[in-house]
Amino acid sequence: MASLGHSVCCADVDAKKVERLRAGVIPIVEEGLERLVAEGLSSGRLTFVLGAENAVRSAEFVFLCVPTPEGADGQADLSFVETAAQQIRELLPRNSIVVNKSTVPVGSTRVVERVLRRPDVSVVSNPEFLREGTAVHDFLHPDRVVVGADNLEAAERVGRLYEALGAPILVTDAASAETIKYAANAFLATKISFVNAIAAICEGVGADVRDVMRGIGYDRRIGNEFLRPGPGWGGSCFPKDTLALLKIAERANYRFDLLQGVVDVNLQQFDRMASRISAAAGKGGTVAIWGLTFKALTDDLRDSPALEIIDRLLSMGHKIRAFDPTVRSGLESYPSVQICSSEVEACEGADVLAVLTEWENFRWVDPTDIVGLITSGHVVDTRNLLDRSAWLTAGFTYQGVGR
Ligand code: UDX
């Protein structure tokens, strides 16, 4: 927002985080973010403060960007949104606009309005579609900007903040904007579960899923993105948003069997990959794992497919040695997982190698450096990342997904 020319003040409740951001230190792995923040700090258009009250006093727009974690029964937990709204209620300047960026259940714009009790302040829903790892690029080159409000003029004012991006700006009512976010994530998750199911069929009929996906991706009605088979989808959005949408459907008296199927296929995929790795490792065998994050280019481990698979392997009695370029210390919830400092170290004394995240670095490891370390000589590549022929030539048995 600062790079578009706006004056932006970011508030957080975490003093340490604020202090580090003021010094230009970015607490997460996100391509291009450090440079962007440095530019904002030096231009003076971007500041970081502790506490919401210090950010909102002179604001025209107040973006709520707090987390909406999965609640006990799968519904999104709105307590952070409500607390933030409460904190700023009395401080908001007259006629300012509160913008909901967090992914919230349909109807939450109204919830914020009720907490605020400020008839002069409009509440607008403005869902974000950023992917972790490419968030800066996605922000600056959006396919569309969605703004929803029951007050059309307020929605248009928010839309104008993004004018410089030259993207289509879609103005809707609040409930539609909130539904768009869930529908988009559910559709993308559906695409991947569909691909993972087709991959299983490819294995049975001797087809190559990569060619099959190329073949369907050229159809413009399908499109060629989000057709990569893998260990199952994960991350901070798809798992919680699909469950939340199932809950929303339930409350709207609709049995969303299709989306339930998409979620079930994903769990099945974790199971399939874990059994495949387990079979190759042999009873009680040690598994070397390359990649722990939920995808490459991020250090985010939340709902990572790798951890889902590790859970299953541990309960089947396997030992785990893992390497991930962004994970240096041990995993709190998995004390028995040995975190190694290189790809080669993870393979030492292991019975099988499994690739669970598509980090480019893994592609460039020479298989001849690994072949003597893995006792079964078997590699399970759940991302179809490695150069199969190079690994076969080095003496490995290679198993990808759907090929
Ligand atoms: C997602 C949405 O893409 C984004 O629009 C929304 O704002 C937030 O949620 P993100 O969670 O960052 O973004 O990850 P994404 O790149 O969508 O990947 C999600 C999962 O699907 C990852 O586990 C990834 O590895 C997997 N995936 C993705 C595949 O298995 N195959 C693919 O073809 C694409």
pLDDT of 169-225, one tens digit each?
Answer: 999 999 999 999 999 999 999 999 999 999 999 999 999 999 999 999 999 999 999
Confidence of residue 333 (pLDDT cuts 50, 70, 90): very high
Query: 348 CA distance to ligand 1 centroid (A)?
Result: 31
Asked if the model's pLDDT at residue 261 lies above 90, the reply is: yes
Are the C-beta atoms of 84 and 56 separated by less than 8 Å?
A: no
Per-residue pLDDT at 330: 83
Specify whether 10 is catalytic.
no
Task: Give the C-alpha separation, 121 to 115, whole Å.
Answer: 12
Ligand 1 lined by 234 (C-beta under 6 Å): yes
Which residue CA neighbors atom 15 of ligand 1 most closely? 131
Exposed, middle or buried: residue 254 (CB in 10 Å: 0-12, 13-18, 19+)?
Answer: exposed
Query: 137 CA distance to ligand 1 centroid (A)?
Result: 15
Nearest to 140 by CA among 169, 171, 170, 164: 164
Pocket mutation for ligand 1, best pick of 178, 188, 303 (most atoms within 8 Å of C-beta): 188
> From the alpha carbon of 357, which atom of ligand 1 is closest?
25
Q: Is 165 helix (H, G, I), strand (E, B) or coil?
A: helix
Residues 6+ apart with CB under 8 A from 222: 216
Per-residue pLDDT at 102: 85
**Burial readout 369-391 (b: 16 or more C-beta within 10 A, e: otherwise):** ebbebbebbbbbbbbbbbebeeb
Ligand 1 lined by 277 (C-beta under 6 Å): no
Query: 373 CA distance to ligand 1 centroid (A)?
Result: 33
Confidence of residue 402 (pLDDT cuts 50, 70, 90): very high
Task: Give the C-alpha separation, 95 to 89, whole Å.
Answer: 12
Confidence of residue 113 (pLDDT cuts 50, 70, 90): very high
Q: Give 61-108 pLDDT, tens digit per residue.
A: 999 999 888 888 888 899 999 999 999 999 999 999 999 998 888 888
Per-residue pLDDT at 329: 87
Query: 192 CA distance to ligand 1 centroid (A)?
Result: 9
Per-residue pLDDT at 105: 86
Residues 6+ apart with CB under 8 A from 155: 124, 147, 148, 149, 171, 172
Q: What is the mean pLDDT of residues 141-146?
A: 98
